Structure 1
Amino acid sequence: MIAACRCTPPPAGDWRRWCSSGGSSSGGGGGGGAGLASSSATCSGRSCGGAGLARSSSSRAGTALPAAVRDDLLRGVDAEHRESVARVVELAQRAADSWAVLHSDFHTPPVVADALMVLQRMADVAGVAWGGYPQAERCRLAVGREEAVEGLAGDPSQLGGVAAVEVTGNFMFDPASHRDFLGACLGTGIERGKVGDIVVRGEQGAQILVAPNLVEHLEAALTQVRTVPVRAAAVALSELQVRAPRVEELSSVESSLRLDAVASAGFRMSRSKMADLIKAGDVRVNWRAAGKASAEVQAGDVVSVAGKGRLEVKAAAMTKKGKHSVQMVRYL
């Protein structure tokens, strides 16, 4: 197997060549890195050929990515998400080495967006986000070799990795919020990353998306939410009772498709106020920091503003007068 040499890591920007290197180890072992080296070579007085690449004398799954390759893969990732995305990269390496499909923790949409961006840079590796139902916000990433993952992208439910627990009790006199149900789950000793969306059902309780291996634990340990005794039991994903999101359809005619112009119309605020929010980093486009107020949006873009929700640009067409007719949907 071709692997990065310890003494001469591949230069920044050369990760595609490193990730896509093929070949087999002298030991003949299978389970190659699918774009990620699973072994390292030590240069003992011999030349390291090929832009810092060397042929390993043995295969060892799970070797960490060289720092230069890892840093190059993570370029452009939001600093707040870097550690989480790095763990997804390491998981993808293990999945490729073992020819398996592995699942990450549940992550928020911005982290998922950054992780999918990085996975696209890795040769022969793919990832699919799935949170238990199509509109889920917190999702797990199923990662592995392209042939194992991409064939299931059309029906992510086949990937597994997400289960549901229904929590029932009489909440008529002591209503519980999303935070209450989350706190009760974490109080049983599980980590936040193992809990996905929580569908609160008013007086009836809630349905909670979790990692499958925690279902039995919650069935035994989750016995109370606030002051209400509860019963937790597994429920099929097909039985989730997710309400359709409340939306408002909007239309606007703008002189340009600048972010500040379109977003100010969609969120009904002044353009100067929207520009201030963009400058403060409170506005994201497709879950990534917007950067500049002058950036243009296009059909399919999702614009979110901290504390004010999000909107989707459904269509943008030029009018006869040279302006832009923009159709939007705001999620309330």
Structure 2
Amino acid sequence: MSKNEDLFHHFRVDEKMQVERSLDWIARAESRYESVLTPFLNPREQQILDMLVRRSQDLSVTFDGGYAEAERCRARIAPQYIDEEDFELAFLMVSSLATAGELKHPDVLGSLLGLGMKRDKVGDLLSHREGCQMIVDRDMADYIRLQLSRVGKSTVRIHEIDRNQITAPIQETINMSISVASLRLDAVASDAFRITRSKVVTLIKNGRCQINWKTSENPAEPVKEGDILSLRGAGRAKVGEIQGRSKKGRLLVSLTRYK
């Protein structure tokens, strides 16, 4: 068994492509003695990359998504002696021409993807009362300004803003405790999102559920502490501590539900 094949055992099967991509970036930084800038990565992809870079004594990795609480970040992998801080980010403000108001994240993202953009060229999209702040790959900024004219039914205008103008919306959460027969995805998601088990199973099989930003179509897939579950149209929840079993043998699980 090769070293890389043994390495894959530490990750989920559906994460193999991301592991291979990360290893390619690392190999390029090592062999060419250069800094490598990645596309935007979700938190799980960042975690995978960080774990793999730590295996090398000669490399370091840093992340930047434009603001302290950023979820999606670009990474820069470089030899220890290279100190490069430019992550080639651009900051845009999208606002409606017709009426002032919040532009919803799914609508903005859908409009960007409709332009033919790849998801990894786009960082966080921050909806505000004035519109939506976008953090994007600098190379795509001019293209977005020229091509993005509508979001949903709204005609929009776009202008560049400074990094220090980025403000993260306050994330409201609800802490809750659930009782489940097992840590199957369908069981936990059903209680987390207050949806019947049968409906959750259908949604999962239709590809509408993610664990740690990866789509799962397996209702029986196990979840663990720290996993982030998202169900399209229902929201997101983080699996907290497994608190033990009830007298009836059911698992008691703490959850944080994001509004």
Judge same fold: TM > 0.5, yes or no.
yes
TM-fit CA distance, 1:208: 1.6
Q: Which has the higher contact order (CA 8 A, sep 6+)?
A: 2
Q: Does 1:113 align with 2:37?
A: no
Aligned to 1:35: none
Aligned to 1:303: 229
Q: Does 1:198 align with 2:125?
A: yes
Contact 1:186 1:192 in 2 (8 A): no
Contact 2:95 2:103 in 1 (8 A): no
Q: Does 1:324 align with 2:251?
A: yes
Q: Does 1:78 align with 2:14?
A: yes
Aligned pair in 2 of structure 1 residues 211, 267: CA closer, same or farther (>3 Å)? same
Moved more, 227-236 or 241-250: 227-236
Pick the structure with more strand per residue. 2
d(CA) in 2 for partners of 1:218, 1:96: 33
Aligned to 2:178: 252
Which of the pair has more CA radius of gyration? 1
TM-fit CA distance, 1:162: 3.0
Provide the identity percentage: 25
Contact 1:312 1:330 in 2 (8 A): yes
State the number of aligned residues: 251
TM-score w.r.t. length of structure 2 = 0.68
d(CA) in 2 for partners of 1:142, 1:265: 39
Aligned pair in 2 of structure 1 residues 233, 278: CA closer, same or farther (>3 Å)? closer
Q: Secondary structure at the match of 1:144?
A: strand
Contact 1:223 1:231 in 2 (8 A): no
d(CA) in 1 for partners of 2:117, 2:214: 29
d(CA) in 1 for partners of 2:229, 2:112: 32
Contact 1:223 1:230 in 2 (8 A): no
Contact 1:116 1:127 in 2 (8 A): no
Aligned pair in 2 of structure 1 residues 13, 326: CA closer, same or farther (>3 Å)? same
Contact 1:88 1:104 in 2 (8 A): no
Aligned to 1:131: 65
Which stretches in structure 1 are left out of the alignment for 5+ residues? 1-11, 18-68, 153-157
d(CA) in 2 for partners of 1:128, 1:201: 28
Q: Secondary structure at the match of 2:187?
A: helix
Q: Does 1:225 align with 2:149?
A: yes
Q: Does 1:162 align with 2:89?
A: yes
Letter in 2 for 1:194: K
TM-fit CA distance, 1:115: 7.0
Root mean square deviation, CA, Å: 4.6
Which stretches in structure 2 are left out of the alignment for 5+ residues? none
TM-score w.r.t. length of structure 1 = 0.56
